Amino acid sequence: MKVFSILLVAFSSFTLSFNSCFSQELLNEKLDLMPWPKEITSNGSITKLDENFTISINNKGSRVYNAATKFLRNLANKTGVFINEGFPFYNRENATLSLVFKEVADLSINTDESYELVVKNNKIELTAKTDVGIVRGLSTLLQLIKSDGSNYNFEGFYVKDAPRFKWRGLMIDVSRHFQPVDLIKRNLDAMAYVKMNVFHWHLSDDQGFRIESKRYPKLHQQGSDGVYYTHEQIKDVVAYANNLGIRVIPEIDVPGHAAAILAAYPELGSNDNYDYKIVRDSGVFDPTLNPTKPEVYTFLDNLFKEVTPLFPDEYFHIGGDENEGKHWDSNVEIQKFKKKYRLDTNHDLQTYFNIKLEKILRKYGKKLVGWDEIRTPSMPKSAIIHSWRGKNEGFENGTLIPALKNGYHAILSNDYYIDRMLSVEHYYNCDPIANANLTKEEEDRVLGGEVTMWSELVTPLTIDSRIWPRTAAIAERFWSSKHITNVENMRKRLDKVNHELERIGLTHIRNIDVILRNISDNQEILSLKILSRISEPLKVYQRNKGGIEYKTFSPFTLFADACSADAPDAYAFKKVVSAYKLNSNSSNAENVSLFLNKWEKGYLNFKELHHSPNLVGLNFHYKNLAEISVHLNKAIKSGKYSEKDKERIDSLLNEIATPFVDVEIVIIDSLKTLSNHLNQKFGLRENVHK
């Protein structure tokens, strides 16, 4: 402990001498940190990474030892430097990197995650109150490595950092499509990389119950198609997350979304004549636990008694969403029950259910988190309201603010439904608080937010590409100051993070090619890649119309699955068109032409491929896109673009604006802008010439 105090003193005096020689804006052009830290100043020094790099730790504890060892592997793998010492030391003098912390945190909603980092003149000091702070600081340090062309160096900086929100979560739905342990672990690594701290594990739903139960074995035997987590696997994941300073909040969704539970134990259902089965479609279904049966509470009590010890966190998520009550309405006994207990509405009945549930969970030391619907007058204020509803569900201003106003702590998810496949910009611009009219107390009750990855349309092959990189930008929204809002700069930094996530094991980039190779029957995929980079999967649940087109066992190895929510070339093209519109000089013209050439040549390559069943649906749009590209290119080069040309191109543009194979081409607006601009610029002149 003595070492720590001395270092802290040295550290404090040291920081006073810093000069801030870059403004924050210049810094985030120069650096690719994400999330952006609270305070950062450059000192202009450079610390070269070489084989003599060493780490010293001042205190025992698996979190820091593990993070430091991983940090060494990351350094080696990222840079190719053969570091001599593959493991950290304890209290080693003259180590390159000193990790100094005071206490091992018992993870909770109030864990201190702050840290200070000084990188200067071949010495790096990272100090924090807790070991979790060290883990967060190491993520920052890893992002400070830059190549100068010949070597990798740590850029010299002083960083003082702490999160804006306490609850920075990612929910993964493992019911609709099961996600194996290693996949969860790599996503936990990615979360830690961008300093997220809550993994919400959506473990049960109509499409599968994913925890082994020794007390009720039919749950996993008949409710999971054989894919579920054993207790040991859950403990393994929880320990892995804990090492990264990530809390794990399990969710068992009741009383609705219960088809998988009822497939195993139909006697707990609200409709005795219903043939309960694991659901294969998407949507909201009728199977619901029967809140009037004492056996249901016995079941839940025993189940929670069994599973709560697996999850050390004080919170437990009980779902509670989207119970439409159809099976309650059609059950005479339930109607009688409601009358007897003066429960006027199904919502009242669900409240009755929730209150009982809350008591059971309290018995096992758990506080309750639940989706919006659990908020009823008798719900204790210790419960956290998880706000999922917004405009789309008829709540103009969402459901977060009413929860706060009613005295609840709350977390926001409505704005962070990444399965809606909206752009990174959209999510980045959503602030959990924004300009809401809240008192200080109410504002403090916003714990943070959660990204929700519902898995109707994702499999282990594609899930990483749906979560990342967009979630990294949302993680910044949760961690960084509300004033960090420059989208252009965020995109620049995100591009770097995107590749770093690949290096640490995420498959979001590499699996694109796997899908394209498969649909092409293993031909050259360049032309498909070109098309995929301007195509996005249909957004806001348009892809799976009515929820029945795709079943859980349908192929998710299609062209749409190789396209991302932020088509990279579409964004780049938009920028060059804007520039050209502003100033049609030859350099800007050339930048536009490069894209048009790419699409023209892409189609030429595409045409040369052997026919393959999954390529047929791409031909029409690709052909028209090529034709548009040729014409626009000609116009740019020739300076001729008549009204008639424009009409023809606009008509083709309307053709390719229609969705195809569950995607849409997202450069239509830019092409229209270009067409209009060319027409304004050249059309008149040409008419005059005539």
Site residues, a second copy (CB under 8 A): 66, 72-73, 76-83, 86-87, 147, 149-152, 180-183, 226, 230, 232-233, 280, 496, 499, 502-503, 507, 509-511, 513-514, 517-519, 521-522, 550-558, 610-614, 616
Closest approach, Cβ 161 to a second copy, in A, equals: 25
Strands 384-387 and 367-371: parallel
Nearer to a second copy, 64 or 198 (CB): 64
Distance in angstroms (rounded) separating the CA atoms of residues 298 and 46:
63
**Tokens 């027409």 sit on residue:** 679
How far apart are the two ends of the chain, measured CA to CA in Å?
A: 88
Question: What amino acid is encoded at 210 in this protein?
Answer: R
Closest approach, Cβ 350 to a second copy, in A, equals: 33
Distance in angstroms (rounded) separating the CA atoms of residues 240 and 189:
9
Distance in angstroms (rounded) separating the CA atoms of residues 475 and 430:
12
Q: What is the dihedral of CA 68, 73, 79, 85, to 10 degrees?
A: 80
User: What's the half-sphere exposure (Cβ side, CA atoms, 13 Å) at 215?
Assistant: 10
Distance in angstroms (rounded) separating the CA atoms of residues 254 and 289:
7
Distance in angstroms (rounded) separating the CA atoms of residues 386 and 217:
30
Residue 175, token pair as written in the block: 């019911």
Distance in angstroms (rounded) separating the CA atoms of residues 484 and 2:
38
User: What's the half-sphere exposure (Cβ side, CA atoms, 13 Å) at 313?
Assistant: 28
- With H, G, I as helix, E, B as strand and everything else as coil, classify residue 44: strand
Distance in angstroms (rounded) separating the CA atoms of residues 473 and 482:
13
Of the candidates 425, 497, 507, which has an alpha carbon nearest to the alpha carbon of residue 463? Answer: 507
Nearer to a second copy, 92 or 235 (CB): 235
Of the candidates 407, 243, 384, which has an alpha carbon nearest to the alpha carbon of residue 315? Answer: 384
Closest approach, Cβ 232 to a second copy, in A, equals: 5
Nearer to a second copy, 54 or 114 (CB): 54
Of the candidates 198, 78, 665, which has an alpha carbon nearest to the alpha carbon of residue 471? Answer: 198
For the chain, the maximum distance between any two Cα atoms, rounded to a whole number of angstroms, is 89
Closest approach, Cβ 543 to a second copy, in A, equals: 13
Sign of the alpha-carbon torsion through 485, 491, 496, 500: positive
Nearer to a second copy, 178 or 371 (CB): 178
Strands 115-120 and 123-130: antiparallel
Nearer to a second copy, 57 or 100 (CB): 57
Q: How far is CA 121 from the centre of its chain?
A: 37
CA distances from 354 to 171, 214, 351, 359, 380 (A): 22, 25, 5, 9, 10
Closest approach, Cβ 661 to a second copy, in A, equals: 9
The answer to whether the beta carbons of residues 544 and 457 sit under 8 Å apart is yes
Closest approach, Cβ 427 to a second copy, in A, equals: 23
Nearer to a second copy, 427 or 559 (CB): 559
Strands 97-103 and 409-412: unpaired
The answer to whether the beta carbons of residues 410 and 165 sit under 8 Å apart is no
Closest approach, Cβ 521 to a second copy, in A, equals: 6
Nearer to a second copy, 232 or 444 (CB): 232
Of 103, 322, 425, 655, which is the active-site residue? 322
CA distances from 387 to 165, 264, 367 (A): 16, 30, 17
Q: How far is CA 355 from the centre of its chain?
A: 32
Q: How far is CA 331 from the centre of its chain?
A: 40
Closest approach, Cβ 245 to a second copy, in A, equals: 18
Of the candidates 122, 138, 126, which has an alpha carbon nearest to the alpha carbon of residue 47? Answer: 122
The answer to whether the beta carbons of residues 156 and 121 sit under 8 Å apart is yes
Nearer to a second copy, 38 or 280 (CB): 280
Nearer to a second copy, 266 or 617 (CB): 617
Closest approach, Cβ 496 to a second copy, in A, equals: 7
DSSP H or E stretch at residue 412: strand 409-412
Nearer to a second copy, 162 or 181 (CB): 181
Nearer to a second copy, 13 or 150 (CB): 150
Residue 209, token pair as written in the block: 């119950």
- 322 labelled catalytic: yes
Closest approach, Cβ 182 to a second copy, in A, equals: 4
Nearer to a second copy, 471 or 498 (CB): 498
Q: Cis omega (within 30 of 0) on the bond before 180?
A: no
Distance in angstroms (rounded) separating the CA atoms of residues 48 and 45:
10
Closest approach, Cβ 529 to a second copy, in A, equals: 11
Closest approach, Cβ 559 to a second copy, in A, equals: 9
Q: List active site positions.
A: 322
